[in-house]
Structures are given as C-alpha cells and as structure tokens.
C-alpha cells in the first residue's frame, strides 16, 4: 500500500473539534479517542451530504491514495464526478474516482445500474489516459443493465402533461431500477449468458412493447437491434465481470482497505431524500452495504461531503435557494453547471437543518467542506439555521415536498472575508472570517469539519490536524 505524503498542507486547529453529538472537546481529548488497531478501522464511506455535486470526485480521488479498493455502490451514469489532476480534468460517471491511482482496484458494485455503452465509452476514455482497465476495473455480476427502452420510458414519463417533471438526467436510471425492484430486470451475469439473456430479454421486451404501444411509441423501440448490440458489448465487458462482493470481502479479510464512493447525495436518496424529486437508489450510507455486499460491521467511518453553500439540479423544493444576484454570483464563480447534462445548477445558502438531517441518517463521523473559495467575493454570507412553518420552528425534516416547499428558512448573516482563499493549503492561512464561517457551520450542524477544499485540484486542500478525519484516514 502507498503511504507517500499527501499533496496538501495541514492546518493546526483542533479548537473546533466536536463529537457527533456536538459536544466540544479539546485537541488532547481528541488524541485520546482510540480507534483501535489501524487495520481494524480501515474501510470508509464517502458520500454527498446535500443534493449531489458536492465535489465527491475530487475528494475520493485525493484520499483513494490511502486505499486498495474504491467501490461505487449505487446510481449509474447519472453521476458526474469531476477529477482534476494538474491541467487534466475529466468526468467519471460509472468508474469510481480512485481509478487514476494505478495501485487502486476500482469496483462497480451490484447496486449500480450499468448502461454497457456508457461503460465502454468511459473505459475508452480512461484507457487513453493510461489506465490499465483489465488490471484495475472490476464490475459486479449482479449489476442491473440499462437498455435503450429504459431511456424511452423515462422520456415519456417526464414529458407527460399531467405530471410534474422530476428533471431527471434522461439516462434511464429510474426505469431500470423499477425493473430491478419489479423482479423483471436483467443482470450482468444474465447478459453474459447468451441463451439466458435472449430468454429474459424476450420477456422484458414484450412488456416494453405493450407499454410503448399504449403510448404510441412502439416504432421507436428497435428491440431486436438493441439485443444484438448488447450481445456484442457483453463480450467486451466480460473480462471485467466477477463476484465483486466476494472480491471485496476477501480483500477485507486479507487486511486491504476499501473506500465506498457514493453517487448523488443524501437528499436524492430514494428513501431519505426529497421524494419524489430524488434518484431511484440508496445514496445514503446504508446503500454502501446493500450495494456492494459488504456488511455494516466491516465499515469503520462515514465521511460526508458538502459544499460551503448548496446546489441542486432538477425539480423539487429547495428552502435556501437564492434566485437573486447572490445565487447568480455563486453559479458563475462556482461554475455550477451540471457535469453530466450541462444544466445550470440551482444555487443557495448553506442549509444547516438539512445537514443535521443528513448527518443523522448517515451518522457522519466528519464533514468535508468543499468550494469555500467560491464565496470569496461575497460581502455577506447567509446561513440557513432553521426552518419555520406557520410561525413555528420545524424540528424534523418534513416528509412531503409540499411541506418542505412551504417552510420559511431562518437565516443568520455572517460577514464575508473578501480576500482570495482559492488554493489555500493551510488552516492558519485562511482569513479569520473564513475560519469563523466554518466554525459557525460546525456549531450549527454538530459535525466536525475535518477537511476544507479551496479549489478543484488535489493540492488545493486543507486537512485539519488532530481531526477525526485525519485519524480515520491515517493521514
């Protein structure tokens, strides 16, 4: 395993450290919190604490240096995880963001839905960058397969006049998961057996033909052509496919370290997010176990990633959205345009009640705050510290989007720092007001901030000395 020094500077502050319940403790106390033998705390989940695009790709790429495996557990090519190494910037959709480290084996777990064409395109992209795909990439034999008719069904459903569009990525993700849960789906192992595939595809295609005819879209299906293409693509993917649950569990038993990479964010989780304006998978921490076949007892830390503000793509309630000049400024300064669809992201202020909720359902040990630099030029920064409904404080995250759309955000305003933080690598080099802002976020969320990102590149990162994150990752 690699143990080279990581390419960022460290801060020295431990005064802000808090435990998960929000109680302050000193740096000395922090040092005394024992995690046991290092190899007994080696597997962690890194996931989005908001509505996606928190900068997971950068963080997973940066810290996967410390791991032997990086495993994706849900979602599909609706994800867009940006990794920037020097001048080179690329967006990973299916392949985990650790792939740029030659010693890291990356795994597409059983919880992921795979469009074979999207996977082959991405393989071609990373091969051009020098990745040894045969050696590094493993794909679960239990992944469900996305077909062209899934995209067509999604298009029909999203464009129905009598429905509020979710604003999906149009990748066929939802309809594929529908077939999975409906027990009609086709898995990677089925695709690799031509006879089984033809039989299952025949059943599924019949279902879709009936549906398409009902919507007068039957002509658009091309079911036979797609079947032949899938046979062809299966042969290209075959060498990468294995029982990844066994691969990961054997590796863990042999003392190897696994990082689990979430896609989307907790507020897009099908159970815990802003349903129905969510994706169709379990983006929250629990999904890491069902989506890879690794037991909860084998996972030792959960790391949330959040922007210093918040964004969302697609429809649905967004209490702290700013549709005025500040929201516009954040969008332009943060290049907040979707990495998959190019859509402008909706922008707003850091939402502490939302973060408290995602910390609760995930059990965050620590939080990584990204894109602090995007706030550099703003003179005043608002933070949503609570919600009110009909004049009363809202204690729990509303379950319906109708209610969430009605809540009134309660804001506190902090002074901006108005000096550049972009590229800062040491905590002590941050302006005092930026440190105060981060301390405020810690206080209002009750989660320790272990790392701050000040730019898209690996180097542009601050790790808090003495933090739980540092101990968790053995930095």
Which residues of the shown chain bind ligand GDP in the complex (CB under 6 A)? 48, 52-58, 80-82, 84, 334-335, 339, 370-371, 373-374, 453-456
From Mg ion, ligand GDP, ligand IMO, none, interface partner of 55 (C-beta below 5 to 8 A by class): ligand GDP
Give the nearer residue to Mg ion in terms of CB position, either 83 or 106.
83
Alpha helices, DSSP H, located in 94-214: 116-128, 133-136, 148-158, 173-181, 188-191, 194-214
> Quick check: 336 binds Mg ion (CB under 5 A)?
no
Query: Looking up tokens 């890879």, which residue turns up?
Result: 292
Please report how the helices 223-237 and 194-214 are oriented relative to each other, as an axis angle in degrees rounded to 10: 140
Active site residue 216: no
Strand partners, 258: 69
Q: Is there binding between residue 314 and ligand IMO (CB under 6 A)? A: yes
Number of residues that bind ligand IMO (CB under 6 A): 22
Q: Which stretch binds ligand IMO (CB under 6 A): 63-71, 192-200, 257-265, 377-385?
A: 257-265
Tokens 């907790």 found at: 266
Is 167 a binding residue for ligand IMO by CB under 6 A? The answer is: yes
Part in contact with Mg ion (CB under 5 A); list of ranges 48-56, 176-184, 209-217, 306-314? 48-56
- Report the distance separating Cα 133 and Cα 54, nearest Å: 27
Cβ of 56: how many Cβ atoms within 10 Å? 26
Nearest alpha carbon to residue 76 among 135, 140, 152: 140
Residue 198, classed as helix, strand or coil, is: helix
Residues 6+ apart with CB under 8 A from 231: 194, 197
Site membership for ligand IMO, residue 174 (CB under 6 A): yes
Query: Token match 């301390």: residue?
Result: 439
Choices 129-137, 210-218, 252-260, 264-272 (CB under 6 A): range interacting with ligand IMO: 264-272
Residue nearest to ligand IMO (CB): 314
Rounded Cα distance, 346 and 321, in Å: 7
Catalytic residue among 61, 65, 77, 81: 81
Q: Out of ligand IMO, ligand GDP, Mg ion, none, which partner does residue 327 contact, by CB within 5 to 8 A per kind? A: none
Instruction: Report, in Å, the least distance between residue 168 CB and Mg ion.
Output: 14
334 or 446: whose CB is closer to ligand GDP? 334
Of 42 and 279, nearer to ligand IMO (C-beta) is 279
**Quick check: 47 binds ligand IMO (CB under 6 A)?**
no
Q: According to the binding rule CB under 6 A, does residue 153 interact with ligand IMO?
A: no
Tell me how far apart the alpha carbons of residues 27 and 344 are, in angstroms, rounded to a whole number. 42
The nearest distance, CB 472 to ligand IMO, in angstroms, is 22
Binds ligand IMO (CB under 6 A): choice among 143, 241, 313, 434: 313
Q: Which of 43, 78, 266, 320 binds ligand IMO (CB under 6 A)?
A: 78
Binding partner of 317, given ligand GDP, ligand IMO, Mg ion, none, CB within 5-8 angstroms per partner class: none
Alpha carbons 143 and 114: distance in angstroms, whole number: 7
Q: Is 264 a residue that touches ligand IMO (CB under 6 A)? A: yes
Instruction: Answer for the pair 362, 306: CB distance below 8 angstroms, yes or no.
Output: no
Q: Which residues contact 233 (CB under 8 A, 6 or more apart)?
A: 116, 117, 120
Catalytic residue list contains 300: no
Residue of the chain from 53, 115, 365, 448 that contacts ligand IMO (CB under 6 A) = 53
- 3-class DSSP assignment, residue 84: strand
58 binds, among ligand GDP, ligand IMO, Mg ion, none (CB under 5 to 8 A by kind): ligand GDP
Nearer to ligand IMO (CB atom), residue 265 or residue 353: 265
Q: Are 129 and 100 in contact (CB under 8 A)?
A: yes
Among 97, 168, 292, 370, the residue binding ligand IMO under the rule CB under 6 A is 168
Given 11, 55, 76, 80, the residue binding Mg ion (CB under 5 A)? 80
Whose Cβ is closer to ligand IMO: residue 81's or residue 435's? Answer: 81
Q: Compute how many other C-beta atoms are within 10 angstroms of the C-beta atom of residue 193.
A: 12
Cβ pair 60, 99 in contact under 8 A: no
Write down how long the chain is: 475
Burial 175-191 (b: 16+ CB within 10 A, else e): bbbbbbeeeebbbbebb
C-alpha distance across the termini of the chain, in Å: 13
**Minimum CB–partner distance for residue 223 and ligand GDP (Å):** 33
What's the closest the beta carbon of residue 454 comes to ligand GDP, in angstroms?
A: 5
CB of 199 to ligand IMO, least distance (A): 28
Instruction: Report the nearest approach of ligand GDP to the CB of residue 459 (Å).
Output: 11
Closer by beta carbon to ligand IMO, 78 or else 358: 78
Tokens 């905590």: give the residue. 427
Listed residue (203, 29, 4, 190) closest to 114, CA to CA: 190
Alpha-carbon span 369 to 64, nearest angstrom: 18
Q: Coil, helix or strand for 218? A: helix
Distance CA 45, CA 304 (A): 8
Q: Which of 273, 270, 261 has its CA nearest to residue 51?
A: 273
| Distance in Å, CB of 233 to ligand GDP, minimum | 26
Question: Which stretches of the chain bind Mg ion, using CB under 5 A?
Answer: 53, 80, 339
Question: Which stretches of the chain bind ligand IMO, using CB under 6 A?
Answer: 48, 52-53, 78-81, 166-169, 171, 173-174, 263-265, 268, 279-280, 313-314
**Residues tagged active-site:** 53, 81
């Amino acid at each position: 395993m690699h143990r080279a020094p990581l390419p960022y500077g460290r801060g020295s502050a431990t005064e802000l450290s808090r435990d998960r319940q929000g109680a302050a403790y000193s740096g000395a106390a922090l040092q005394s919190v024992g995690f046991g033998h290092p190899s007994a705390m080696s597997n962690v989940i890194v996931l989005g604490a908001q509505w996606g695009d928190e900068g997971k790709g950068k963080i997973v790429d940066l810290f996967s240096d410390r791991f032997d495996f990086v495993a994706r557990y849900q979602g599909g090519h609706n994800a867009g995880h940006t990794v920037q190494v020097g001048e080179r910037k690329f967006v990973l959709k299916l392949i985990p963001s650790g792939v740029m480290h030659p010693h890291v084996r990356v795994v597409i777990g059983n919880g992921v839905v795979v469009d074979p064409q999207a996977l082959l395109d991405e393989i071609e992209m990373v091969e051009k960058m020098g990745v040894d795909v045969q050696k590094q990439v493993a794909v679960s034999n239990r992944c469900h397969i996305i077909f062209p008719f899934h995209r067509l069904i999604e298009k029909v459903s999203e464009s129905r006049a009598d429905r509020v569009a979710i604003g999906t990525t149009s990748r066929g993700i939802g309809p594929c998961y529908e077939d999975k849960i409906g027990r009609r789906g086709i898995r990677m192992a089925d695709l690799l057996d031509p006879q089984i595939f033809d039989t299952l595809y025949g059943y599924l295609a019949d279902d879709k033909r009936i549906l398409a005819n009902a919507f007068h879209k039957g002509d658009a299906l091309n079911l036979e052509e797609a079947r032949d293409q899938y046979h062809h693509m299966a042969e290209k993917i075959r060498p990468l496919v294995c029982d990844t649950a066994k691969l990961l569990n054997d590796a863990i038993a042999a003392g190897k370290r696994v990082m689990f990479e979430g896609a989307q964010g907790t507020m897009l989780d099908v159970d815990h997010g802003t349903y129905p304006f969510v994706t169709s998978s379990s983006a929250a921490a629990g999904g890491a176990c069902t989506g890879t076949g690794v037991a909860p007892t084998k996972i030792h830390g959960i790391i949330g990633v959040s922007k210093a503000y918040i964004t969302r793509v697609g429809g649905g309630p967004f209490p702290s959205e700013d549709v005025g000049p500040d929201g516009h400024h954040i969008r332009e300064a943060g290049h907040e345009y979707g990495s998959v669809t190019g859509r402008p992201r909706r922008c707003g202020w850091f939402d502490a009640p939302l973060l408290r909720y995602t910390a609760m359902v995930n059990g965050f040990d620590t939080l990584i705050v990204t894109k602090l630099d995007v706030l550099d030029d703003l003179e005043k920064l608002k933070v949503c510290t609570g919600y009110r409904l009909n004049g009363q404080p809202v204690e729990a995250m509303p379950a319906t989007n109708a209610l969430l759309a009605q809540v009134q955000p309660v804001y506190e305003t902090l002074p901006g720092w108005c000096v550049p933080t972009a590229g800062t690598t040491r905590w002590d080099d941050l302006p005092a007001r930026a440190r105060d802002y981060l301390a405020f976020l810690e206080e209002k969320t009750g989660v320790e901030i272990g790392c701050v990102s000040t730019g898209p590149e690996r180097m542009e990162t601050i790790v808090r000395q003495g933090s739980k994150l540092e101990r968790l990752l053995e930095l």
